Structure 1
């Protein structure tokens, strides 16, 4: 059973909740946040038509965790199996990126790996991308093709459930009584809905063509004054890196408790003034423009060179969270235009 049909979400979620904790989206104003699932709640669960504000990294790489202690060593806590419902393709790509950082063979983080192995991933199609979403500009898609255990697609009178892993297939087979078959007409409807979303994104970003690989554009613009100009409105709130699903910088903080010492791992931000400061007070990136440049170089150049993939998934969370009006898309557009101008200038000089 690769695909199945269900008319309501509650039976699906309640079945999953029998063996693990479940987190799902809940609408707050115009946005979705992640909340624990309550099978007894009178509020009917809903399928989010856009990615949640909560980045999935929060479940795998929490903002604050104890990683060491003395005199007794700190071992990774036993993690209960848990499921996150409503993740989008951009979220799945962000998990793949974090896996490269925290679960590579040479530098494996046991705290991250412990959570990752217990996570059951339930993706869903993105049917109403926001104004800030630009996944397709970076080669992404608004529906998941891999990286999930189950995927949910809204169709007429219900939902298509698709398995994407051995664990997902096992769940469908063991709960066959909940599901029905999926007629070809509904599979066709799903394809049409996905194509409509792709076209919506194409129309929204018709003015953001990249005329070369983004790595080349950003790398060529390393010394551009664009970073100085764009950083003028930045207020160093660091919201862009906090909500980013792939930013993974952290620092270690030593703390003394009543009867032991502990080392805490806490989220950090490359946009923070003291981020690059070293012993003695030297700081190579005191200027906001330098920190903004570093952020772009890391996402589009250095991470790609190290791991073979860009570190931005085009989810647009940073754009929504920005207090200082630094729009990543606008910076890329300006760098692209400058890239084209430099190419024209070089051609004219060659003549």
Structure 2
């Protein structure tokens, strides 16, 4: 019953335990939990807390003592809708001395994390709404951290930091064990990196705009195995040198047309599984289409589509041109739709509408 505990506060009073309202005073709730604290492995804290009571911090101390005795190392801590600054600092301070393996903090403020908070056992850290308050948050030294998730988007509050410069800094020499990095909701210059990752294996960038690949890619190190880019608009500024990831096994580019150019600006190892997903309407971007075709010809790639719809003749021509690139293979889930589109194109013949396709023809010739 108490292995996973969810506590919801009403200001500073805990009133809900695991989804159930409790009539006794909040202190009784925590006293009850203290008697069963050796069973607690997962703790979720919810509510618009003004101040966390000292008795609650004492309850965390009970968890710390029992974990050490039982050598429990799989405790997960989740903090959502955090309290006032001083209360959250006290909470993180208490947790930093416990064998916390996973920590999730919403509305992260640059002033919350203190240098003395070491979190020597922390392996997974998720910080969300980093743009909630102005200032630069420097990810602290976390020697055991393996997975880091940075969510910049404020889904509950306006972001005063939006567009006003960097709000998070990654110093990879302070994260020697980092193997997985996820960035979501970032804007141009939201994040700055220094140094190079030691053993980073997986990187995912999603729902971000203005990401400068020229400054990001050198920081990813040379051990990358999986790279996923989803719904992103990358800045078309590529490094002067080609990043080399000899261990790369998987490259995914989903609904991110600008990122497709990455295929010809990164030296990919033989046998890497490259998959690109696009919207059918992405075929209409005439200005970037020649670049897309050229990039698709740089490596064997499987292309899929986010939806199936009727296309005008001009877009059917572009679909046909993409199919003619010898390195392109259509995902099996889209084969029927693509075949139907090309059949319609062939049937149209001379009766099709007049379109200007000389630019597209030149692009195809360059891609071969």
Higher strand share: 2
Question: What is the TM-score with the length of structure 1 in the denominator?
Answer: 0.22
Question: What is the TM-score with the length of structure 2 in the denominator?
Answer: 0.21
Higher helix share: 1
Q: 1 or 2 for the larger relative contact order (CA 8 Å, sep ≥6)?
A: 1
Larger Rg: 2
